[in-house]
Amino acid sequence: MTPLLGRVSTWHRPMMWTAAVMAAMAVVSASGLVFDDRVLLGAPIWLKPFKFAVSIAAYCVTWAWLLTLLQRGRRAAHRISTAIVAIFAVEYVIIVAQVIRGRASHFNAATSFDAALFGIMGISIAALWTATLVLTILLLRTRVADRAARWAILLGGFISLAGIGLGALMLGPTDEQARAIGDGRPTGFIGAHSVGVADGGPTMPVTGWSTTGGDLRIPHFVGMHALQALPLLALALTLLAKRFARLRDDVVRTRLVLVAGLGYAGLLALVTWQALRGQSLIHPDARTLIAFAALVIVVVLGAFVALNPRRGGDGSASPRMLVFHFIEMAAAMGIGMAVFGPLVRLAFGAAGWSAALGFTDLRALIMATEMSVAMVAWMRFRGHGWSSIAEMTAAMYVPFVVLLPPYWAGLISGGVLMGAGHGLMLAAMAASVHRHLAVHRRQSFRRGASSRQYAMQSAESASIGGMRMT
């Protein structure tokens, strides 16, 4: 990976000059944040130029390097990259000009001039997406010796395209704006980045993302910068290979990059789903926390498998068997919730206890029971002993038992109880599966070794007996 970086002097010059200008504008914008106290839609007026300057600089440096890897189509790629530079220049000039005027640059349709400027920005976003797609296709045709770097570049490019494309979710009028336009009283804005709340509410420091509702800028940002995150990971793995022997294997590094790429795509899907449900990033509900915990578990298991190839007959647990058995248990849990959940609701409704299901603590214990019943049935079907079943069932309940006292004391919310409880549950399951699988394989290994030893002794005895007879 390190040789791929090459000499910086050979990188695409217009891109590098643009990155330098954006770095300077980031300093100017930071000064504006300090000395200009104007606020626009609830955020410091110079915050948007600052964020765009940093983002454009990172994009340009990345593509300036990636262009040096091309073996075919270099002339076309350089022309497209120069066009991207022009697109960024137009977009950033509009943003800064609107800041100077004290007007919003995005979604602004208050006057024909403002609407025209935002229309130009919309066209530039479409052109940027198309240009990035063409450059990514050209990279697909390029052979990169380091497989981990190749996959990092390709996955980063495609996820970045998805992130840029998600910006289109912000362009259409919201329901409120559509009703206002239909009633003949337009608000002066078409489109919004917030979901469930109006733009301009309380925001996080630095990022400016909403703290009260969904924010579509989050998936846009996360997706767009996969092009920096994944190649940087590949570079970090190459540097760490000097200290860790296992990472010197190109196959191991490639698998880790693939796991990271799939995890990054999952994270992009998760924050998009969260934003579209009108949910703030810092106030996730139980479903979001459960999905995030599941994503983390899958990525950790994937990394474990990548770092530990299938082992031989020493009785150790195969990572693939570990993941397979964990998926079996998780699938049984999901089926239990799907089957018994509706039955529980019907039973509580028939008894007139439907309101009781609104209590988070009771609902958590009911969900643990639903999952446990299905898992016990599956484990008995697979021939597991009662001690293993009891341990796995404890993994369903113990996390909630530990978290219930803080919940009753008001120290954690219901969302944290459900999300953290399920996350700890999955971790406890993984530990239990690994322990019992290792024990099972060691026992099988000992039985196999004993059988082989007995066979060898029998053969030896037979040989000796034959010699005596002769």
In the chain, which residues fall in CATH 1.20.120? 1-143
Q: Could you report the per-residue pLDDT of 125-158, keeping only the tens digit for each?
A: 889 889 988 988 888 878 877 888 889 988 998 8
Predicted local confidence at residue 25, as pLDDT: 96
pLDDT on residue 467: 45
Is the confidence at residue 452, as pLDDT, over 60?
Answer: no
| Total-model pTM | 0.69
Mean pLDDT score across all residues of the chain = 82
The per-residue pLDDT for 58 is 92
> Given 1.10.8, 1.20.120, 2.60.40, 1.10.3470, which CATH number is that of 1-143?
1.20.120
Q: What pLDDT digit, counting tens, does each position of 292-339 carry?
A: 888 888 888 788 878 876 554 444 455 566 666 777 777 778 777 777
Give the 3-state secondary structure of the chain: CHHHHCCHHHCCHHHHHHHHHHHHHHHHHHHHHHHCCCEECCEECCHHHHHHHHHHHHHHHHHHHHHHHCCCCHHHHHHHHHHHHHHHHHHHHHHHHHHHHCCCCCCECCCHHHHHHHHHHHHHHHHHHHHHHHHHHHHHCCCCCCHHHHHHHHHHHHHHHHHHHHHHHHCCCCHHHHHHHHCCCCCCECCCCEECCCCCCCECCCCCCECCCEECHHHHHHHHCHHHHHHHHHHHHHHHCCCCHHHHCHHHHHHHHHHHHHHHHHHHHHHHHHHHCCCCCCCCCHHHHHHHHHHHHHHHHHHHHHHCCCCCCCCCCCHHHHHHHHHHHHHHHHHHHHHHHHHHHHHHHHCCCHHHHHCHHHHHHHHHHHHHHHHHHHHHHCCCCHHHHHHHHHHHHHHHHHHHHHHHCCCCCHHHHHHHHHHHHHHHHHHHHHHHHHHHHHHHHHHHHHHHHHHHHHHHHHHHHHHHHC
pLDDT tens digit sequence for 456-470: 555 455 444 554 444
pLDDT of residue 462: 47
Q: Who has greater pLDDT, 459 or 93?
A: 93
Percent of the chain predicted with pLDDT > 70: 87
The pLDDT of residue 112 is above 80: yes
